[in-house]
Amino acid sequence: MTSALTRLLDIVPAPGKPRQKDWSEAERNLGIALPADYKELIRVYGGSNWDDYLYVLEPGCPNDNYDLIDWAANQAEDLEDLWEFEKKPAELETEGSRVIPWATTDNGECLYWLVLPGREADQWTVMVNEARGDRWEHFSVSCTEFLASSLDGELRSNILSSLFPRSAHEFRQLGPV
């Protein structure tokens, strides 16, 4: 168990029985292996909503609106169209770099892994993109570290809502709609 997940468990106890998932299909659909800390996060919490604001995406999520595979396909297409008119973030200027969404918010911000050539999945860092805008932030942490550090106030995004995190945390697993 990563130290970030241990911190997260201190902030919000595990909701119950761990989810078992066959990651091979998700990774085959994405064409890339996913970070171990993310797999651990999903095993413990599943697709989830944090403080009634941030939604962690899950492959095969019981709520189809938060399926990681669908989000990855849609966001890749939307960003390619967008970058015909707007400048890519500097972090994505490297040939072969890309972003893969792992979370979103109820305001429409999107949280991505920054995937760079030659970097293993466990070395991916986090990029945050504002809703309906071209501002991006880069955080040199894993997705689980980002979530834990955001919830405990150690890390602060200038793009995410100033109301996140809440002082009394709320958590719910995403179920069927």
- What is the share, in percent, of the chain residues with pLDDT greater than 90? 80
Model-level pTM? 0.95
Contact residues for 151 (Cβ-Cβ < 8 A; gap 6+) = 8, 11, 12, 50, 51, 165, 169
Torsions phi, psi of 134, nearest 5?
-110, 10
CA proximity to 133, closest of 115, 107, 102: 107
Torsions phi, psi of 114, nearest 5?
-90, 115
Residue type, 121: A
What pLDDT score does 84 carry?
A: 82
| Domains with residue ranges and CATH for the chain | 3-173 (3.40.1580)
Mean pLDDT, residues 123-136 taken together: 92
Contact residues for 112 (Cβ-Cβ < 8 A; gap 6+) = 75, 99, 100, 101, 102, 126, 127, 128, 129
- What is the share, in percent, of the chain residues with pLDDT greater than 70? 99
Mean pLDDT, residues 79-95 taken together: 85
Q: What is the pLDDT of residues 7-21, one digit of tens each?
A: 999 999 988 888 888
